[in-house]
Amino acid sequence: HKLPDVTKIFSSEFNFILEICDNLHITTIPRNAFQGMNNESITLKLYGNGFEEIQSHAFNGTTLISLELKENARLEKMHNDAFRGATGPSILDISSTKLRALPTYGLESIQTLIATSSYSLKKLPSREKFNNLLDATLTYPSHCCAFRNLPTNEQNFSFSIFKNFSKQCESTARRPNNETLYSAIFAESELSGWDYDYGFCLPKTLQCAPEPDAFNPCEDIMGYNFLRVLIWLINILAITGNVTVLF
């Protein structure tokens, strides 16, 4: 069974929310499933359904703020072009699904990725695909290794407003003390009614969980020569001990 035809729905509301949940007989999200619903941004809450497959261009023609696919326990396949023709999403939640892979196209806009209890997702696309990722909550600590110690210049937060504000913040630090942060960034006419967020100037770093630890390290423990030698010695001693017992 396919998703009901929701393209007849139209709303001009900003961040229109469509919620479809707990429909176990819906197995497929087809092409152009949400096209024409809204000219603005939308949030799709599609959780707890019987989805098994998301087809190519499924979200074509949409501007996605958030896409919730969590708790679709049968969802195994998401076409590599599922996000083709769409803008976004900024937030993607695929927790508790059986997805084995994420599409490599359309991940550039994701700022928040949630993939807890996604045990079939053993490998993520290359980190270069996640240009704007700020927050990742994943299943395996090894997933966070790819984002660990990521160079600042690779954390490519491409939104021009952030870049512009960052440059203004740097220049403001060198301005005379009698010139306020507000006037350094905005013209006097632009200040009315604004509450400036100073935290916007702070460096942005990617947060990833669960973090690698002693039991789940990023490094290959067999990469150390002394460990290889030690394991060989242990194996030889074990074999020698077994042979001694037999004879």
Exposure on the CB side of residue 165, measured as CA atoms within 13 A:
16
Task: Give pTM, 2 decimals.
Answer: 0.73
Joined together, the tokens standing for residue 172 give 């403001």
1-139 in CATH: which number? 3.80.10.10
- Give me the percent of the chain exceeding a pLDDT of 70: 72
- What pLDDT is recorded for position 212? 82
More confident residue, 52 or 158: 52
Phi and psi at residue 163, in whole multiples of 5°? -65, -45
* Domain-wise residue ranges, the chain: 1-139, 221-247
Residues in CB range of 125: below 8 A, 6 or more apart = 101, 102, 104, 107
- What is the reported pLDDT for 204? 66
Rounded to an integer, what distance in angstroms lies between the CA atom of residue 94 and that of residue 139? Answer: 11
Q: Is residue 56 over pLDDT 60?
A: yes
Confidence of residue 230 (pLDDT cuts 50, 70, 90): confident
Residue 41 amino acid letter: S
pLDDT of residue 203: 57
- Residues 67 and 39 sit within 8 Å (Cβ to Cβ): no
At 14-33, the pLDDT tens digits run 889 999 999 999 999 999 99
pLDDT of residue 240: 86
